[in-house]
Structure 1
Amino acid sequence: MSLPAAAWRERVEFERRLVHAGGTLYPVPYLLGWLTWGETRVFLGIALAVVFALEFLRLVVGLDHAVYRALTREYEADALAGYALYQVSMTGAVLLFDPTLAIPAMWMLSVGDPVSGALADNEATEAKRPAAWIAMALVCFGLAVPFTIPAFGPNAGVVVAVAGAVPAAVADGIPPIIRGIPVDDNLTIPPAAAGGMLLAIALVG
């Protein structure tokens, strides 16, 4: 028996959030001392190449299978899927920033975004409701302080964490619209967060 449309959508969104959260594991080998940061960059680069190959097969060759059908949304049918944009921003964070900024920025996407998504009921082109904004900002702040306070001290560390959490919440809560198409927050959250923290570091020294 097929699921009602609402139940099917809820299940798909739950599965997407599980996949989303899986990216939290990317920097774990580095944190455990199993990989260097350089090796982590290589690993993420290889993963990005694999994702681009999969998207080429889907969009150009026409390869379609159950995983794509289950985990892609309608507006992703003829464009890069959210998971590919996710991989772009995750890899970009690793390549462009050091671990103190990159790891919390990555986790703001992999952990914060699913939390706010669970509290939101908006369409892709709509802003999220205040509860989702607040939850996203608080989660992102909590993810950042274990990295920023040891690196910059209590006062500056809190400022840097806030400077990452607020742009991440904005990127998550208000999707930029370009030519009528929403820019996926999978692409915007890590650079917004890391960029905000980098700016704060420059200002507070």
Structure 2
Amino acid sequence: MADELKRRLVHASGSGLVALYLVASYLEVGLTWEHFRVLMVVLAVGAIALEFLRLRVGLEWWIYDKLTREYEQDQFAGYGYYMLSMTVVVVLFPPAIALPAMLMLALGDPISGAVSDNTLRRVKGPKVLVTMFVVSAVIAAPFLANPIAVLAAALGATVADGIKVQIGDFIVDDNLTIPIYAAVAAWLVLAFGPV
């Protein structure tokens, strides 16, 4: 249980990246969206490199034992998907879409996990789905002026968090899908929805 709490806190710490961009933007200290994109790419490449070293070279740090789950010992870990998905939304979408999508992963996922009963189901229970939807909508509202885009982004994050996608023997990690589903859903509404 203590390791699970540590994982959730580390998960939530990703919100610091959003805070970094917002504070730097507010203070006009030179962290433009383009520079932030570069930073995210560097962080994602770093995470992929660490995973390569861990899986192929045998790099073993104590932190891997504390922050990775048992099933991740011999496969690409969730933090790698986390950095990759956040980077994808930052590279592909403007701040109003990418930043809330990042926060839905950083904050929404651990909050929904806290109310989950941790049973392995293809579709999570109603309490988890409602929690993820409400948290995601609250996160999106300050960023997206269009209420339909807010609801779409929240729905995208909820579907990604609440429904397990399996391709063969591989279960797609929701750390990869939450920001991407949320950002794509919001973008579709803003690009093609009612004005």
TM-score, with length taken from structure 1: 0.88
Counterparts of 1:163 and 1:203, CA distance in 2: 11
Deviation readout 1:105-146 (Å, 9 max, x if unpaired): 000100100000000123455432111110100010011111
1:191–1:171 Cα change, 3 Å: same
Q: Does residue 185 of structure 2 align to residue 189 of structure 1?
A: no
Find the aligned partners of 1:167 and 1:88 in 2 and give their Cα distance: 18
Structure 2 residue aligned with 1:59 = 55
Where do 1:56-135 residues align within 5 Å?
56-123=52-119, 126-135=122-131
Structure 2 residue 148 is matched with structure 1 residue 159: yes
Q: Choose which of 9, 17, 35 in structure 2 pairs with 1:26.
A: 17
Contact persistence 1:124–1:182 (CA under 8 A): no
Separation (CA, whole Å) in 2 of partners of 1:103 and 1:22: 14
Whole-Å separation in 2 of the counterparts to 1:125 and 1:46:
35
Aligned-partner residue type, residue 27 of structure 1: V
190-199 vs 115-124, which moves further: 115-124
Count of residue pairs brought into register by the alignment: 189
Whole-angstrom distance in 1 between the partners of 2:78 and 2:168: 18
Contact 2:112–2:129 at 8 Å: present in 1 too? yes
AA aligned opposite 1:36: T
- SS of the aligned residue for 1:122 comes to coil
Per-residue deviation, 1:83: 0.3
TM-score, length of structure 2 as denominator length? 0.93
Q: For the pair shown, which has the larger CA radius of gyration, 1 or 2?
A: 1
Residues 1:203 and 2:193 aligned together = yes
Q: Greater shift after overlay, 87-96 or 25-34? A: 25-34
Alpha-carbon displacement from aligned partner over 1:30-57 (angstroms, at most 9, x marks no partner): 2122311111111111111111111111
Say if 1:27 and 1:40, in contact at 8 Å, map to a contact too.
no
Matches of 1:78 and 1:178, distance apart in 2: 18
Deviations 1:68-91 (Å, cap 9, x if unpaired)?
A: 111111211121100000000011
Partner of 2:8: 17
Secondary structure of the equivalent of 1:21? helix
Deviation at 1:203, TM superposition (A): 1.5
Contact kept? 1:116, 1:133, Cα under 8 Å: yes
Alignment gaps of 5+ in structure 1: 1-9, 150-156
Deviates more, 1:24-33 or 1:109-118: 24-33
